[in-house]
């Protein structure tokens, strides 16, 4: 029998594929600064905070900016990103995500969102999923980015469930590390060759079941 009592979900890349919007906005910013970013480079931005993403991008473009300029650039990127996500609809929920959330809740498991994004509430509202989470912890509520476990530990605390009884669903290496650092189980969403530290890797939540949870 499983000891799992709660499921904590990352948002970008697990519930919705917003990576494409982040990429478009960062690419536009890089282009304005006179260089480009590749899809491979974009992979390295997954799960990474806004501030750190900008630092990496400026590094790739060999561009130096003051702290004040960096704040302006990050704000500009976010404006473009927010404009794009303002058009999101429930059709953009990744396959199986809503169904698995409903399955968990019907089985009496607690659910939380654990995201680095400061835009998570906007997205949850747009895709109409906010009601399926008992707690939402996002980038506005944490000070230490993944792989620090802060976001997931706060999630467990909000649910009143011990970390060892929680499982985290993550598409980013840093997110799997964060779950492990917090003493939680981790299910990777993506490729087993990339998410090597996960307890189980599936290609999407449409591949998850209570039976698989019970085997963790």
Residue 211 CB partners (closer than 8 Å, separation 6+): none
Task: Compute the least distance from the CB of residue 10 to Mg ion, in Å.
Answer: 4
Residue 50 site contact among Mg ion, ligand BG6, none (CB < 5 to 8 Å, cut-off depends on kind) = ligand BG6
12 is catalytic: yes
Task: Compute the least distance from the CB of residue 5 to ligand BG6, in Å.
Answer: 24
Q: Contact positions toward Mg ion, by CB under 5 A?
A: 10, 12-13, 47, 171-172
Residue 129 site contact among ligand BG6, Mg ion, none (CB < 5 to 8 Å, cut-off depends on kind) = none
CA contacts within 13 A on the Cβ side of 84: 18
Catalytic option among 10, 138, 165, 171: 10
Q: Contact positions toward ligand BG6, by CB under 6 A?
A: 11-12, 22, 45-50, 53, 78, 115-119, 139
Q: Which is nearer to ligand BG6, 145 or 163 (CB)?
A: 145
Q: Do 26 and 77 touch, CB atoms closer than 8 A? A: yes
Measured distance CA(166)–CA(104) in Å, rounded: 12
Q: Which is nearer to Mg ion, 18 or 166 (CB)?
A: 18
Task: Compute the least distance from the CB of residue 115 to ligand BG6, in Å.
Answer: 5
125 is catalytic: no
Residue 45 site contact among ligand BG6, Mg ion, none (CB < 5 to 8 Å, cut-off depends on kind) = ligand BG6
Please, which residues bridge with residue 186 across strands? 168
Q: Which is nearer to Mg ion, 3 or 95 (CB)?
A: 95
Radius of gyration of the chain (CA): 17
Q: In 26-120, where do the E strands start and end?
A: 110-114
Measured distance CA(78)–CA(54) in Å, rounded: 11
Helices and strands in the chain: count of H runs, count of E runs: 9, 6
Structure tokens at 119: 């835009």
Q: Which is nearer to ligand BG6, 4 or 85 (CB)?
A: 85
Catalytic option among 12, 138, 165, 171: 12
Measured distance CA(95)–CA(98) in Å, rounded: 8
Please, which residues bridge with residue 135 across strands? 112
Task: Compute the least distance from the CB of residue 47 to Mg ion, in Å.
Answer: 5
Q: Which residues are catalytic?
A: 10, 12
């Amino acid at each position: 029998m499983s000891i799992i009592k709660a499921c904590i979900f990352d948002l970008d890349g697990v519930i919705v594929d917003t990576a494409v919007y982040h990429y478009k906005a960062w690419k536009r910013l890089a282009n304005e600064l006179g260089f480009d970013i590749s899809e491979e480079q974009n992979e390295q931005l997954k799960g990474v905070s806004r501030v750190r993403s900008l630092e990496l991008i400026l590094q790739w473009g060999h561009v130096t900016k003051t702290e004040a300029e960096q704040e302006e650039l990050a704000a500009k990127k976010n404006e473009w990103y927010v404009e794009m996500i303002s058009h999101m609809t429930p059709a953009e929920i990744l396959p199986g995500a809503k169904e698995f959330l409903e399955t968990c809740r019907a089985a009496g498991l607690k659910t939380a969102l654990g995201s680095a994004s400061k835009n998570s509430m906007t997205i949850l509202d747009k895709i109409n999923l906010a009601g399926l989470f008992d707690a939402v912890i996002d980038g506005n509520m944490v000070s230490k980015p993944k792989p620090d476990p802060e976001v997931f530990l706060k999630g467990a605390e909000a649910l009143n469930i011990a970390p060892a009884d929680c499982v985290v669903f993550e598409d980013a290496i840093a997110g799997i590390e964060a779950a492990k650092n917090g003493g939680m189980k981790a299910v990777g969403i993506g490729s087993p060759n990339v998410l090597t530290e996960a307890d189980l890797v599936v290609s999407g939540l449409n591949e998850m079941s209570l039976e698989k949870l019970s085997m963790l």
